[in-house]
A = this chain, B = another copy of it.
Amino acid sequence: MEREALEKHIAEKQSVLCVGLDPHWERLPKALRQTQDPIFQFCRAIIDATHEHAVAYKPNLAFFEAQGAKGVQSLERVADYLHQNYPQHFTIADAKRGDIGNTAQQYAQAFFDRMGFDALTIAPYMGGDSVIPFLERPGKWGVVLALTSNPGAEDFQLLPLSMSEGAPGEALYQRVLARAQEWGHAGNLMFVVGATRPDFLRKVRATAPDHFLLVPGVGAQGGSVAQVLHHGWGSEGPELLINASRSILFASSGGDFASAAKAAAASLHREMQQALSPK
């Protein structure tokens, strides 16, 4: 999907909501577990219930792969279902892949060509040749991890680099932001920046003013929508995708899980509309 199409969808809906599809097997509603493909049934119900409020969906690969080949089959069905029924929604394979060039090409083939995702999350530790293969297909995006929302982000991402390297006090995640922009541009490259560190969104915007940011950590992990929109606003508009997973998917553990998910998504959507409308 081209950037213009995504921006148009955001503007029309006044939403930057990305629904993370983490179909945790042990938490699937009991009624669904009897069906032939519980993971697909669950994701489909969540998608149908939330599509009016969301502009993007982000299946988290681990929860599919945990069920082996059958889980990957469910993922393929989810991707097909999304692309056939909601072609205006942006789709992100949350795979956090990162490997040398010829291997990265294989992943690009799997997620872009075979499954038709618009974007793939990428771990940058292996550097340029592990990222670039994901930036070479028209309308496809790499979403590079910059500053994540988990406690372990402190271990390496926030480490200050030597003064002789780059700007004084530059941290590793800032170098990732800067280097990645030599490999891609605002039309094929996004960054992951956690909502649990809203003050850092400003620092990120100093280095990456016009790239879309994928922001996890709202809801179950504790960040607020208003804060993220306030600090993370881009140079050309709300260039953000705010992800919520568990707070929507598991809003209810009962048979009403889909309507509860819809209500949770609608509530986030309202927060977004309020923050987006006056600008």
Contacts and interface: CB of A to CB of B under 8 A. Distances in A.
A177 to B, nearest CB: 12
Contact of A109 (B66, B73, B104, B115): B66
Given A68-B110, A160-B164, 14 more contacts: A63-B103, A63-B106, A72-B72, A123-B123, A125-B157, A126-B152, A127-B151, A128-B151, A129-B152, A130-B152, A159-B165, A160-B165, A161-B161, A162-B163
A206 interface: no
A261 to B, nearest CB: 18
A97 interface: yes
Contacts of A159: 161-162, 165, 172, 175
A13 to B, nearest CB: 28
26 contacts: A22-B103, A24-B102, A62-B99, A62-B110, A63-B106, A65-B72, A65-B107, A66-B109, A66-B110, A68-B72, A68-B76, A69-B72, A69-B75, A69-B76, A98-B98, A98-B123, A100-B148, A101-B150, A125-B125, A125-B156, A126-B152, A126-B157, A130-B150, A160-B162, A161-B161, A172-B172
A68 B109 CA distance: 10
Residue in A97, A104, A114, A115 with the greatest tally of chain B CB atoms within 10 Å = A97
Interface residues of A, number: 61
Nearest to A131: B152
3 nearest CB pairs, A to B: A127-B152, A127-B155, A62-B106
Contact of A126 (B69, B101, B123): B123
Contact of A127 (B67, B98, B157): B157
A97 B97 CA distance: 7
Interface of A: 22, 24, 60, 62-63, 65-70, 72-73, 75-76, 96-104, 106-107, 109-110, 114-115, 123-131, 145, 148-157, 159-165, 172, 175-176, 179
A106 B153 CA distance: 20
A229 to B, nearest CB: 23
Contacts of A115: 68
A79 to B, nearest CB: 10
